[in-house]
Amino acid sequence: MDFVEGEILAFDKPYKWTSFDVVGKVRWMLCRKLGIKRLKVGHTGTLDPLATGVVVVCTGKKTKIIDELQKHTKEYVATLQLGATTPSYDLEKPVDATYPTEHITRSLIDSVMPRFIGEIWQVPPTFSAVKVDGKRAYAYARKGEEIELKPKLLVIDELEIVSYDDDKKQLTFRVVCSKGTYIRALARDIGEALHSGAHLIALRRTRVGDIRVEDCLDFEHFTAMLETEI
Rounded CA gap, 56 and 46, in Å?
Answer: 9
For strands 52-59 and 198-208, give the pairing.
parallel
Are 208 and 45 contacting, i.e. CB atoms less than 8 angstroms apart? yes
Terminal CA-CA length for the chain: 7
Short-list 194, 44, 189, 183, CA closest to 105: 194
Taking the CA atoms of 183, 184, 188 and 191 in sequence, report the sign of the dihedral they define.
Answer: positive
Are 71 and 56 contacting, i.e. CB atoms less than 8 angstroms apart? no
Q: Which residues are catalytic?
A: 48
Short-list 134, 178, 174, CA closest to 153: 178
Are 51 and 89 contacting, i.e. CB atoms less than 8 angstroms apart? no
Single-letter code of the amino acid located at 75: E
Rounded CA gap, 229 and 226, in Å?
Answer: 5
